[in-house]
A and B are shown apart, each in its own frame.
Chain A
């Protein structure tokens, strides 16, 4: 798709109007990205997520519903954690909201890449739902090679194929799970924290991000003992604020040099 120069130049020359077939072609280009390393990694972590959901007592329909309406994996895991720990609805919502704040800067930074001169806000609101770590990373890497007026079609393809396929992955794990030996559930459960641990460490933008990670890992057992039910919230706010203070001190020290 990247060597398709004729398409790219034709899109530059006109005002942004393409026929349906061209949009469809780029949408399908987007869907073909299901065969890529990040997409396959994401699918394997959805296998793990489905295992986690089964072990936490969620039904198949509830888990598929979560996948479609929430999509972001950390938010779903936080929601399941809150639900099974007996958190109230407002506390669960606050935990999920805090774990998802990062979606806003991700959308903000994706917008200039994604939108063409005539992209409507409704289209952007719809497409923003597909923003989560994997789709965002893929879009940020690939958008520059897509003709600007066709980027929304392309991203719709990427987003919808990722959500749709992973919803099917969840269904498949639920249907097959009856025949799984217990050790498979244990191994599946472990996939999610390991995927988060490694991908989050790598994607940390500043050193404060890694400090925040270590703070979160260390503080959680402390708050779990002191204030069960609010452990996630307290760890996030206090660990995150601590990492931010580190970031300020670190920056001031650099500026002083």
Chain B
């Protein structure tokens, strides 16, 4: 059962509800029910945060290394270079998100225009 398994109009929406809505709101609702019983600094939560962080990092790598659409035809070194350059400037300027994003975008667009 994948995204394209059924041709019906409702299938993507059911897919979004089951794999998306349920998979996110279950944690939010669990948070309400568990309430104050979990300590913010407990070791289990550190492990949970580590896995969540590594997973989002995997998504970042997927988007930069194996993009879909227009960006897929650009050279990989340009995408990695733009991201690394933006991140380096972000670190150098006191972790300003806006600056990091802007530099990476500028490098990418310049690279795409020049090539």
Q: Which residues of A contact B (CB under 8 A)?
A: 41, 44, 52, 54-56, 58-59, 62, 65-66, 69-72, 74-79, 81-84, 86-90, 92-109, 111-112, 121, 124-125, 128-129, 131, 182-183, 185-187, 189-202, 204-206, 208-209, 211-217, 219-221, 223-224, 231-233, 235-241, 243-244, 247-248
Is A75 in contact with B97, judged by CB distance below 8 angstroms? no
Q: How far is the CA of A224 from the CA of B58 in the complex (A)?
A: 10
Interface centre among B62, B87, B90, B95 (most CB of A within 10 A): B62
Is A93 in contact with B22, judged by CB distance below 8 angstroms? yes
Chain A hits for B4, CB < 8 A = 86
The size of the chain B interface, using a CB distance under 8 A, is 75
Is B57 in contact with A217, judged by CB distance below 8 angstroms? yes
A243 touching B60 in the complex, CB below 8 Å, given contacts A75-B23, A88-B2, A125-B32: no
- Shortest Cβ distance from residue B67 to the other chain A in the assembled complex, whole angstroms: 6
As a 0/1 sequence over residues 46 to 57 of chain B, the CB contacts with chain A under 8 angstroms (1 = contact) are 111111111111
- Shortest Cβ distance from residue A211 to the other chain B in the assembled complex, whole angstroms: 8
Is A105 in contact with B3, judged by CB distance below 8 angstroms? no
Return the contact of A221 from the options B49, B65, B113 (Cβ within 8 A): B65
Residue ID in chain A nearest B30 by CB atoms = A104
Chain B hits for A78, CB < 8 A = 55, 59
Would you call the interface of chain B mostly helix, strand, loop, or mixed? helix
- Shortest Cβ distance from residue B1 to the other chain A in the assembled complex, whole angstroms: 4
Is B51 in contact with A75, judged by CB distance below 8 angstroms? no
Is A76 in contact with B20, judged by CB distance below 8 angstroms? yes
Q: How far is the CA of A108 from the CA of B25 in the complex (A)?
A: 13
Q: How far is the CA of A101 from the CA of B47 in the complex (A)?
A: 11
Return the contact of B62 from the options A72, A106, A220 (Cβ within 8 A): A220
Residue ID in chain B nearest A206 by CB atoms = B46
Q: How far is the CA of A88 from the CA of B36 in the complex (A)?
A: 35
Q: How far is the CA of A52 from the CA of B64 in the complex (A)?
A: 12
Chain A hits for B43, CB < 8 A = 248
Q: How far is the CA of A112 from the CA of B82 in the complex (A)?
A: 42
A240 touching B47 in the complex, CB below 8 Å, given contacts A89-B19, A128-B31, A198-B95: yes
Is B54 in contact with A216, judged by CB distance below 8 angstroms? yes
Is B20 in contact with A75, judged by CB distance below 8 angstroms? yes
Q: How far is the CA of A155 from the CA of B11 in the complex (A)?
A: 33
Return the contact of B66 from the options A99, A199, A224 (Cβ within 8 A): A224
A108 touching B31 in the complex, CB below 8 Å, given contacts A195-B97, A195-B101: yes
Return the contact of A215 from the options B1, B57, B59, B95 (Cβ within 8 A): B57
Chain A hits for B57, CB < 8 A = 200, 212-217, 220, 235, 239
Is A232 in contact with B62, judged by CB distance below 8 angstroms? yes
- Shortest Cβ distance from residue B45 to the other chain A in the assembled complex, whole angstroms: 5
Q: How far is the CA of A125 from the CA of B67 in the complex (A)?
A: 36
- Shortest Cβ distance from residue A158 to the other chain B in the assembled complex, whole angstroms: 15
Q: How far is the CA of A205 from the CA of B63 in the complex (A)?
A: 24
Q: How far is the CA of A102 from the CA of B52 in the complex (A)?
A: 6
Is B79 in contact with A108, judged by CB distance below 8 angstroms? no
Is B34 in contact with A100, judged by CB distance below 8 angstroms? no
A70 touching B50 in the complex, CB below 8 Å, given contacts A89-B19, A220-B57: no
